[in-house]
Amino acid sequence: MLTETSDYDTLYRDFRWDVPAQFNIATAACDRHADGSGKLALIFRDEDGSVTNTSFDELRDFSRRFANVLKADGLARGDRVGVFLSQSLELPVAHLAAFRSGLVSVPLFTLFGEDALEFRLANSGAKAIVTDQTGWEKLTKIRERLPHLQDIYIVGGDIHAGAKSFWQAIEEAPDEFATVDTAAEDPAIIIYTSGTTGNPKGALHAHRVLLGHLPNVEMAHDFFPKPGDIMWTPADWAWIGGLFDALFPAWYHGVPMVGYRAKKFDPHEAMQLMADHKVRNVFLPPTALKLMRQADVKHDGVKLRSIFSGGESLGGELLAWVRATFGVEVHEIYGQTECNLVVGNNSKLFPILPGSMGKATPGFDVRIVDDQGNVLPNGTTGIIGVRRPNPCMMLQYWANADATAKKYAGDFLLTGDLGKRDDDDYFWYMSREDDVITSAGYRIGPAEIEDTLIKHPAVALAAVVGVPDPIRTESVKAWIVLRPGFAANDALAREIQDFVKIKLAAHEYPRIVQFAESLPMTATGKVLRRELRKLG
């Protein structure tokens, strides 16, 4: 979408969206590269070190066959399909099959516990799900409470009663499938995002969302693609960052993607992976960069062309370390699940200012506004707003009209983040308008954790806040008032932490538990989280 230049003002001013009336992600990110030449799409490295290469031709074949499986099992246009997998070949096959069928895919993070998984599957009304043995074990505990869920496809291992073999079903299915002629505005994917009140909300995106991500990916990756480019990110493919900051934009441009299913990010292992597979373009979340700096990583075989990062500000010291270690600038970006990649950087277009988010992505009108959607003057702190419509913006929150209406004011989508814009058009993040916690690149809503905490028999009241963490930016801290008969001690704290890990998600459990006699509240009984944050 972008023409390489060193003039940001001209690039931004002259940009025009070119979104066709009819558009399908599977056609754009797979089929048009499946020309029979065996063009490489995925380099997947398993935990045992074995590497499997998959071509666009094979991706098209697998996803067509799985589309036939879904059709034969009765799924019809608009039905939802859960994808409960980590980085793998099977994950994009499932998504592509859903896209080409006119179905709506629902990515699900493998660290989700039973409650988190149940809510998302029930809320989306998913009729089918693709998962592995670990996922199957979680599903067996909640399946009877999911009346919509009719088919479970399992990748690898034993196939249990009530489930089907993913690969066996594919092998037995026909290899021809006519991709549905979807409009660019047709629903494609629901990605759940955490907020500060109530349950998580499902951002429903149209097929055009892929096109909406391209200008920023191209800008922040220094006019991606270029010959020899190969993409990798340790970010999980269950989130918008892994899927649409990396995987599908790479494939839209026919660039190979490296996949690796790591249980935990290892800085030295990451360097070796990049060297082994000649990775040139990476999306490295800030926590990954901090861990790499802490480990003082070095590897002569790593030859990166572009580094893209986002989720929280990196700061001048980390920016300088990346430059010294990799020989390229790290380009920070900003966005959120509802409307992603709206601000970014490219050091060849304008100087990178430490602490700044960068400038508006070509194609996006980003302003600082008040809560009524009125544009505020430069230098004024307000809500970061994005003018509608644009291709990256969600269609709505799934089955949540009230939350959808509250997300907009006037002509703008309100991000809920506070910032300001200076006279040189740089954006500066100030703080969150709400209480969302940013930890290791994840945006974590306190409400869902609090709801899980009070299900523990020992917990009477709970409040969750983010506290500063040198590696994760913030850690989740829980303030807990116990029920009568329970004594505060380390063993109970660990029990409560494990309870949240199992019930909700391993990345959302409180790393710090503080017992208290009472919690600060308003006259109407609302917990004052800001007062708890002051206490540290």
**Would you state the pLDDT for residue 495?**
96
CA–CA separation, 529 vs 523, rounded Å? Answer: 14
CA–CA separation, 210 vs 216, rounded Å? Answer: 11
Strand partners, 301: none
Dihedral angle computed from the Cα positions of residues 215, 318, 269 and 90, in that order, rounded to the nearest 10 degrees:
-30
Which residue is it, tokens 């040139």? 280
Where are the alpha helices (H) located in 334-489, listed in sequence order? 401-406, 446-453
**What's the CATH fold of domain 24-182?**
Rossmann fold (3.40.50)
C-beta of residue 466 within 8 angstroms of C-beta of residue 434: no
CA–CA separation, 381 vs 419, rounded Å? Answer: 5
- 137 Cβ neighbours under 8 A, 6+ residues apart: none
Please choose, from the candidates 72, 234, 58, the residue with its C-alpha nearest in 3D space to the C-alpha of residue 169.
Answer: 72
Which helix (H) or strand (E) segment holds residue 475: the answer is strand 473-482
What stretches in the chain show pLDDT beneath 70? 195-198, 431-434, 522-526
CA–CA separation, 190 vs 418, rounded Å? Answer: 26
Longest dimension (CA), the chain: 70
Per-residue model confidence as pLDDT tens digits over 169-222 = 999 999 999 999 999 999 999 999 875 556 899 999 999 999 999 999 999 999
CA–CA separation, 140 vs 114, rounded Å? Answer: 10
Q: Helices then strands (H, E): number in the chain?
A: 17, 27
C-beta of residue 334 within 8 angstroms of C-beta of residue 429: yes
- 425 Cβ neighbours under 8 A, 6+ residues apart: 359, 360
Question: What is the residue extent of each domain of the chain?
Answer: 24-182, 437-535
Per-residue DSSP letter, 264: S
CA–CA separation, 447 vs 195, rounded Å? Answer: 7
On the 0-12 / 13-18 / 19+ scale of CB atoms within 10 A, 175 is exposed
Helices 56-72 and 90-101: crossing angle in degrees, nearest 10, is 60
**Would you state the pLDDT for residue 297?**
94
The domain 437-535 is placed in CATH, from the list 3.50.50.60, 3.20.20.70, 3.30.300.30, 3.10.150.10, at 3.30.300.30
**Would you state the pLDDT for residue 278?**
98
Please choose, from the candidates 77, 83, 180, 184, the residue with its C-alpha nearest in 3D space to the C-alpha of residue 130.
Answer: 83
**Would you state the pLDDT for residue 523?**
56
**Would you state the pLDDT for residue 434?**
66
Distance, CA of 338 to chain centre: 11
C-beta of residue 472 within 8 angstroms of C-beta of residue 507: no
